[in-house]
């Protein structure tokens, strides 16, 4: 700003299937900083954007899960590398969005990046920790494999614009799910940045889709979508969460609701992992 | 070749009736509710009859739980949890569960006969499957009660509190064991509601709990219809709902508990695909298909009700299947040689008839066993539908009866796509002698249980449960504990 | 009301028809000509595998069949008529064979309704004596041959052994296959031996002993069954009775499935004989159940199913009498041989 030059502003767009469209509806909405200054006009996603994002996530889910766990870990680690290289930008956006001071914002970004790495390391441990062999009383080789639920919808934290978002989307992705995430309505830009980083992190298109917009409009659409297998509804009040939970029950979805500070950190992984148990006969 | 040898009749050597004696069962004329360790009268004095579905004879009258009765049961479970069970060490809980397992083994003959009387399933199955597995479940989870720290959920995982458990009529005692054993091992107290048409073995289990001297209120057994189940689901004193039954009811339960802090696990319907490749071990595969769909009259949520057979062997498989269904011995469930027993209720029979009528109307070719059916009781002859299309109702909806729909495929990819083309995701079978392809298919099937070169096997150590609209949560194994721990 | 609804539906339902039922012995098929070892190998390798767990499970289930009252009575008489009353000991003498023949002819002299056994089974050197004692009765003389039980001799010796038995009046010859050749993949050699022995048998019926206990896997049992049937066996037989594992329900099941499938594709009905370790009525009846539910009525005759046994006969007789008297009988009710 101090430079004698008019800065080039950025357009904050959606991330759907690896592309960055404006909303198909053509709508946008004004986002302000924590102090009430104008920050940006952000794309206001629509029902159809949610639908397109779910289709993209479904389309790539087999491929993502079909990649080796080692490979998935590398891809997530690569995202952490990208975040690290853009940590100043992330910090600035967290400062603007959440009203934190520079040091606090920096610590938050660091913590978030470390969390990504933690999940990057989980991809090839999940099967060993959550699965295993079962000693059935008969001539059968019997093993339980954790497999992803499929497509997970995330209604991300409204307050924690980066850390909360990352935790909610990376956990299911690490487990082999693909994700359609609704970013924080009032603080969407850190999530949009993260989405942009996936474009340079070897993420197959559609593994993470980020929709910005009005939560009360989009969350019910996401939670009602029958091709969504599970939803994380961290980003709504408990009253709204109850409503979304009812909607999600329509197709027997797995639902994650936060439980507070002492929550088991594996619960996000476990919620969107299914146990598939295979029996095979043992004989000569 | 002489004409007389043209057809070698299977089953030409006929077996005289070999009925199991029912003398080991002493039925009461009426049963009360098991609350706080004793049998009590329902507050409303409402009762309903429970029938032997093979004869339509009344076996006994059973109490209909009112809201007040459910409240009494939940209150009792809460008190038992607060005062006794939460203060009982894991090692002591384990010993109670071991006792229960042993008592079931000791009274296994009586329980098998009772189960067959009330449910209509063949005595061979209640004797060789239901009852031994029920005992095994208690035995298995007994061992977990004092080892929860090692179950992979962190140190000192806490129980949830009072569990409300609603079970179906297809495996009455076994489902009670699946629900109670892990709940008690994890330290919860229980209110169990058996299915309306099959309450008796759960009430016999109540007696066993008394013999085991399980503290009063730790398990309460409340009989009744859907109203009673609904009251249990809605009761604010319940911390956990575990339900096994239809997807429709499961959906309602999830919706109703959505705005409550209740924990929920659901084990719902299925439309299992049994996938047969051209290199399958053919004789064992035919038996596996038969087992997959006619075990327990097809009243099995994980039944292999869709046969996906590779087109190149479809005619041969169908020929053998049709021959085989005619050989099944349908009739008196108490006869030790009966393969297929009675349909559990008039309403279930009506549902099976409705869907099979659709199958014919939609153009599928129906083969039905020529077996003679008894005059009284609810019966449905084993049936195979050929020429079924993916879009037919009999290929999409759960029939929950002895009815198999046969479809074909050409490539492994197509088999997987067809198998997954359902809203359910409970169980599948794969038949092939080629291990790499079996695992390739297994990896892609969306099902909680996959049986390779076998079908309908169950074990307390093996997690069971579904994906998608077949529900969530697992029963059995280490995974089964998660449903009853606050983790 | 509900009861009668079971078979009434909106459209006429198609019951399993007589054509769908039972085992259809082919009217048109024929036994394929085997011209080369590679052809034989390809044919056997192309057969479906056998899942051992499935076989064990099927047998366990069939073993739960409860055969009571008149069914049991009929089964006992059928089993008696299927017995190849056997003595295959180094200590065998003409005297022992005589009493065996007498027993086979009239198992229970006090009850003429008891059927005769199917055959007596002896070593070749005692065939002539057995033939003499049995005379023109319905009881056949069977003889083991081909360097029984190991089969470890040259083909020349084996064929002489067979000729010896046939010349002495054997109606049936029980040969052993060369298990060593089978296990090392020399299937052509095994096949050729069976063909040669069959030729040497002339009019006599050929039973081919697979020695399933040495073949070990059910895949081997199925393939050896087909190999023997293709080679011209009139019967396939489980065991010599001289090795650790003899007849098992599992081996019988796999062999009966093979015989059934062979009949369906070739029109040729090959019998099955179980031998070794079958001592009780309960065991015998459980084998009959397997026959009944696998291959069917065509095999439920002494022409197509046999028990190679010795002590089994007395147990059948005891059970038969128990059925009549309603009380258990003492073993001394019947003669030892």
Rg from Cα positions in chain C: 21
Q: What is the dihedral of CA A104, A107, A111, A113, to 10 degrees?
A: 110
CB contacts of A282 in chain C (<8 Å) are: 53
| C4 lies in some domain | no
- For residue C58, the distance in angstroms to the closest alpha carbon of chain A comes to 14
Which of C51, C53, C58, C61 would you mutate first to test chain A, the one with the most A CBs within 10 A?
C53
Q: C267: phi > 0 → left, psi -120 to 50 → alpha, else beta; which?
A: left
Catalytic annotation, pick one of B20, B115, B190, B301: B301
| C333 lies in some domain | no
DSSP state of B126: I
CA distances from B56 to B61, B90, B112, B117, B342 (A): 14, 45, 19, 10, 10
Read off the pLDDT of residues A183-221 as tens digits, 9 standing for 90 and up: 999 999 999 999 999 999 999 999 999 999 999 999 999
β-pair partners for B203: none
Q: What is the pLDDT of residue C6?
A: 36
Q: What is the pLDDT of residue C7?
A: 37
Catalytic annotation, pick one of B125, B196, B267, B469: B267
CA–CA gap between residue B367 and residue A159 (Å, rounded)? 62
Q: pLDDT at residue B23 above 80?
A: yes
Contact C122, C143 (CB under 8 A): yes
Q: What is the pLDDT of residue C156?
A: 97
Which of B10, B340, B366 would you mutate first to test chain C, the one with the most C CBs within 10 A?
B10
Q: What is the pLDDT of residue C20?
A: 81
β-pair partners for B244: B267
Length of chain A measured in residues: 284
| Residue ranges with strand state E in B138-203 | 162-166, 189-193
Looking up tokens 């909806």 gives B397
| C107 lies in some domain | yes
CA–CA gap between residue B63 and residue B49 (Å, rounded)? 9
**Domain coordinates in residue numbering, chain A:** 11-281
Q: What is the pLDDT of residue B2?
A: 46
Contact A184, A158 (CB under 8 A): yes
**What is the Cα B240 distance to its own chain's centre?**
20
Least CA distance to C259: which residue of chain B?
B8
CA–CA gap between residue C318 and residue B151 (Å, rounded)? 57
CB contacts of C18 in chain B (<8 Å) are: 7
- For residue B9, the distance in angstroms to the closest alpha carbon of chain A comes to 31
Contact A205, A7 (CB under 8 A): no
Half-sphere exposure of C217 (CA within 13 A, CB side): 11
Read off the pLDDT of residues B342-352 as tens digits, 9 standing for 90 and up: 999 999 999 99
Q: Which of A253-262, B104-113, C113-122 has the lowest mean pLDDT?
A: A253-262
Q: What is the pLDDT of residue A123?
A: 98
DSSP state of B56: T
DSSP state of C310: S
Read off the pLDDT of residues A170-181 as tens digits, 9 standing for 90 and up: 999 999 999 999
Task: Please give the interface size between B and C, counted as residue pairs whose CB atoms are below 8 Å apart.
Answer: 186
Q: What is the pLDDT of residue C5?
A: 33
CA–CA gap between residue B249 and residue B412 (Å, rounded)? 34
Q: What is the pLDDT of residue C9?
A: 41
**pLDDT classification of A260: cutoffs 50, 70, 90:** confident
10 Å CB burial of residue B236 (0-12, 13-18, 19+) is exposed
Which one is the CATH code of A11-281: 1.10.3480.10, 3.40.605.10, 3.30.300.130, 3.30.565.10?
3.40.605.10
Strands B162-166 and B189-193: parallel
Percent of chain A with pLDDT over 90: 93
Q: Using the beta-carbon criterion (under 8 Å), do B323 and C269 form an inter-chain contact? A: no
* SS3 (DSSP) at C83: strand
Q: What is the pLDDT of residue B238?
A: 98
**pLDDT classification of B5: cutoffs 50, 70, 90:** low
Q: Using the beta-carbon criterion (under 8 Å), do B447 and A276 form an inter-chain contact? A: yes
Q: What is the pLDDT of residue C4?
A: 33
* SS3 (DSSP) at B246: coil
H or E element at residue B20: none
Please tell me which of the candidates B266, B453, B477 has its beta carbon nearest to residue A252.
B266
Contact A151, A177 (CB under 8 A): yes
CA distances from A171 to A177, A211, B204 (A): 9, 18, 46
Looking up tokens 């980083």 gives A197
**What is the Cα A68 distance to its own chain's centre?**
20
Q: Using the beta-carbon criterion (under 8 Å), do A283 and C52 form an inter-chain contact? A: yes
* SS3 (DSSP) at C70: helix
| C180 lies in some domain | yes
| C312 lies in some domain | yes
Helices assigned H by DSSP within B200-345: 200-211, 226-234, 247-256, 282-294, 314-327
Cβ atoms < 10 Å from Cβ of B4: 9
- Omega of the bond leading into C149 within 30 degrees of 0 (cis): yes
The pair of structure tokens assigned to B107 is 């009274």
Length of chain B measured in residues: 487
10 Å CB burial of residue B443 (0-12, 13-18, 19+) is middle
Contact B253, B453 (CB under 8 A): no
Helix, strand, coil content of chain C in percent (nearest 5): 50, 10, 40
Q: What is the pLDDT of residue C14?
A: 66
Read off the pLDDT of residues A195-205 as tens digits, 9 standing for 90 and up: 999 999 999 99
Q: What is the pLDDT of residue B466?
A: 97
CA distances from C225 to C220, C254, C272 (A): 8, 9, 10
Q: Residue C90 sits in a domain of what CATH number?
A: 3.20.20.70
Q: What is the pLDDT of residue C71?
A: 96
Q: Using the beta-carbon criterion (under 8 Å), do C18 and B337 form an inter-chain contact? A: no
Length of chain C measured in residues: 337
Taking the Cβ of residue C45 and every Cβ of chain B, the question of whether any pair is shorter than 8 Å is answered with no
- For residue C75, the distance in angstroms to the closest alpha carbon of chain B comes to 8
**Structural domain containing residue C137:** 68-323
Chains contacting B (3 or more CB pairs within 8 Å): A, C
> What is the rounded average pLDDT for all residues in chain B?
96
Read off the pLDDT of residues B199-212 as tens digits, 9 standing for 90 and up: 999 999 999 999 99
Q: What is the pLDDT of residue C217?
A: 98
Contact B203, B31 (CB under 8 A): yes
| First-to-last C-alpha distance (Å) of chain B | 71
Q: Using the beta-carbon criterion (under 8 Å), do C51 and B281 form an inter-chain contact? A: yes
Task: Please give the interface size between A and B, counted as residue pairs whose CB atoms are below 8 Å apart.
Answer: 113
H or E element at residue A147: strand A140-148
**What is the Cα B33 distance to its own chain's centre?**
23
CA–CA gap between residue C257 and residue C260 (Å, rounded)? 5
* SS3 (DSSP) at B85: helix
- State ipTM: 0.96
CA–CA gap between residue B459 and residue B444 (Å, rounded)? 23
pLDDT < 70 regions, chain C: 1-14
Residues of C with catalytic function: 174, 237, 273
- For residue B394, the distance in angstroms to the closest alpha carbon of chain A comes to 21
List, as one string, the DSSP characters of B337-385. T-SB---S-HHHHHHHHHHHHHHHHTT-EEEE------SSS-----EEE
Read off the pLDDT of residues B144-200 as tens digits, 9 standing for 90 and up: 999 999 999 999 999 999 999 999 999 999 999 999 999 999 999 999 999 999 999
Chain A residue set in contact with C, beta carbons under 8 Å:
138-140, 281-284
**Residues 6 or more apart in contact with residue A233 via CB below 8 angstroms:** A155, A219, A223, A240, A241, A244, A245, A248, A255, A256, A257
Read off the pLDDT of residues A81-135 as tens digits, 9 standing for 90 and up: 999 999 999 999 999 999 999 999 999 999 999 999 999 999 999 999 999 999 9
């Amino acid at each position: 700003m101090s430079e004698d030059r008019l800065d080039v502003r950025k357009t904050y767009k959606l991330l759907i299937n690896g592309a960055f469209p404006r909303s198909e509806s053509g709508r946008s909405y004004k986002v302000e900083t924590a102090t009430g200054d104008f920050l940006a006009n952000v794309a206001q996603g629509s029902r159809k954007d949610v639908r397109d994002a779910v289709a993209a996530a479904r389309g790539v889910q087999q491929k993502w899960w079909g990649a080796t766990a080692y490979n998935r870990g590398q891809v997530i680690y690569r995202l952490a590398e990208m975040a690290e290289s853009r940590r100043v930008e992330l910090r600035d956006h967290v400062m603007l969005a959440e009203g934190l001071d520079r040091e606090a914002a920096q610590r938050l970004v660091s913590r978030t990046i470390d969390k990504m790495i933690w999940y990057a390391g989980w991809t090839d441990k999940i099967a060993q920790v959550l699965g295993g062999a079962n000693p059935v009383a008969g001539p059968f080789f019997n093993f339980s494999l954790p497999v992803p639920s499929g497509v997970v919808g995330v209604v991300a934290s409204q307050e924690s614009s980066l850390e909360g978002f990352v935790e909610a989307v990376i956990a299911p992705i690490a487990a082999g799910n693909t994700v359609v995430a609704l970013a924080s309505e009032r603080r969407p830009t850190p999530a949009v940045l993260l989405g942009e980083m996936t474009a340079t992190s070897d993420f197959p298109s559609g593994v993470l889709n980020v929709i910005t917009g009005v939560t009360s409009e989009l969350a019910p659409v996401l939670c009602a979508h029958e091709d969504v297998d599970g939803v994380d509804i961290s980003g709504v009040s408990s009253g709204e969460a109850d409503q979304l939970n009812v909607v999600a029950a329509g197709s027997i979805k797995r639902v994650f609701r936060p439980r507070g500070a002492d929550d088991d950190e594996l619960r996000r992984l476990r919620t969107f992992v299914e146990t598939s148990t295979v029996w095979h006969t043992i004989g000569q | 070749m002489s004409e007389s040898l043209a057809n070698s009749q299977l089953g030409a050597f006929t077996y005289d009736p070999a009925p199991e004696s029912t003398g080991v069962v002493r039925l009461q004329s009426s049963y009360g509710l098991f609350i706080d360790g004793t049998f009590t009268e329902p507050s409303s004095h409402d009762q309903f009859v429970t029938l032997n579905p093979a004869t339509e004879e009344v076996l006994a009258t059973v109490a209909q739980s009112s809201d007040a009765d459910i409240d009494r049961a939940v209150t009792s479970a809460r008190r038992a949890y607060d005062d006794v069970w939460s203060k009982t060490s894991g090692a002591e809980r384990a010993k109670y569960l071991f006792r229960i397992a042993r008592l079931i083994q000791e009274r296994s003959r009586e329980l098998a006969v009772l189960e067959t009387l009330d449910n209509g399933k063949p005595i061979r199955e209640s004797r060789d499957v239901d009852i031994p597995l029920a005992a095994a479940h208690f035995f298995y989870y007994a061992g977990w009660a004092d080892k929860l720290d090692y179950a992979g959920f962190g140190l000192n995982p806490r129980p949830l509190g009072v569990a409300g458990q609603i079970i179906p009529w297809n495996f009455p005692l076994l489902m009670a064991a699946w629900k109670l054993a892990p709940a008690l091992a994890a330290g919860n107290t229980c209110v169990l509601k058996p299915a309306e048409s099959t309450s008796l073995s759960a009430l016999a289990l109540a007696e066993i709990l008394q013999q085991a001297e399980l503290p009063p209120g730790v398990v309460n057994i409340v009989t009744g219809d859907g109203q009673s189940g609904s009251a249990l689901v809605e009761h604010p004193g319940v911390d956990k709902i575990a339900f096994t039954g239809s997807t429709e009811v499961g959906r309602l339960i999830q919706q109703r508990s959505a705005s409550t802090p209740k924990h929920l696990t659901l084990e719902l319907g299925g439309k299992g695909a049994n996938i047969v490749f051209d290199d399958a071990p053919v004789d064992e595969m035919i038996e596996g298909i038969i087992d997959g769909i006619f075990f327990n009259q097809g009243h099995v949520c994980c039944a292999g009700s869709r046969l996906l057979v590779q087109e190149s062997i479809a005619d041969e498989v169908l020929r053998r299947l049709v021959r085989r269904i005619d050989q099944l011995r349908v009739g008196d469930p108490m006869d030790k040689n009966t393969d297929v027993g009675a349909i559990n209720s008039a309403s279930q029979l009506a549902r099976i008839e409705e869907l099979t009528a659709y199958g014919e109307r939609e153009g599928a070719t129906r083969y039905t066993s020529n077996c003679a059916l008894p005059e009284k009781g609810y019966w449905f002859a084993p049936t195979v539908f050929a020429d079924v299309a993916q879009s037919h109702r009999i290929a999409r909806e759960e029939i929950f009866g002895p009815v198999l729909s046969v479809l074909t495929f050409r490539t492994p990819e197509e088999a997987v796509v067809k198998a997954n083309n359902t809203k359910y995701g409970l169980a599948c079978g794969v038949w092939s002698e080629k291990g790499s392809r079996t695992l390739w298919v297994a990896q892609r099937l969306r099902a909680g249980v996959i049986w390779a070169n076998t079908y309908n096997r169950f074990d307390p150590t093996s997690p069971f449960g579904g994906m998608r609209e077949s529900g969530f949560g697992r029963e059995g194994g280490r995974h089964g504990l998660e449903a009853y721990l606050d983790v | 009301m509900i009861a009668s609804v079971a078979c009434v539906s909106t459209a006429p339902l198609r019951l399993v028809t007589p054509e769908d039922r039972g085992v259809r012995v082919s009217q048109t098929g024929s036994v394929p000509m085997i011209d080369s070892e590679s052809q034989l190998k390809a044919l056997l390798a192309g057969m479906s595998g056998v899942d051992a767990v499935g076989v064990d499970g099927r047998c366990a289930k069939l073993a739960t069949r409860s055969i009571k009252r008149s069914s049991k009575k009929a089964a006992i008489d059928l089993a008696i008529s299927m017995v190849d009353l056997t003595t295959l000991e180094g200590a065998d003498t003409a005297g022992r064979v005589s009493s065996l023949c007498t027993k086979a002819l009239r198992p229970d002299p006090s009850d003429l309704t008891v059927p005769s056994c199917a055959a007596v089974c002896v070593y070749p050197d005692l065939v002539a004596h057995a033939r003499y004692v049995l005379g023109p009765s319905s009881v056949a003389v069977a003889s083991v041959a081909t360097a029984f039980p190991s089969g470890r001799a040259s083909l020349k010796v084996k064929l002489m052994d067979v000729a010896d038995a046939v010349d002495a009046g054997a109606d049936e010859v029980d040969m052993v296959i060369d298990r060593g050749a089978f296990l090392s993949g020399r299937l052509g050699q095994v096949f050729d031996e069976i063909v040669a022995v069959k030729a040497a048998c002339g009019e006599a019926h050929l039973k081919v002993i697979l020695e399933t206990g040495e073949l070990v896997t059910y895949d081997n049992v199925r393939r050896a069954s087909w190999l023997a049937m293709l080679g011209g066996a009139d019967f396939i037989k489980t065991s010599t009775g001289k090795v650790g594992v003899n007849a098992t329900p599992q081996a019988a099941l796999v062999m009966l499935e093979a015989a059934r499938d062979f009949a369906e594709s070739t029109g040729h009905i090959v019998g099955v004989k179980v031998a070794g370790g079958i001592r009780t009525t309960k065991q015998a009846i459980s084998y009959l159940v397997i026959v009944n539910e696998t291959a069917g009525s065509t095999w439920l005759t002494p022409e197509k199913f046999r028990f190679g046994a010795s002590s089994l006969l007395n147990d059948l007789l005891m059970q038969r009498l128990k059925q009549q008297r309603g009380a258990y009988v003492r073993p001394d009710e019947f003669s030892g041989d």
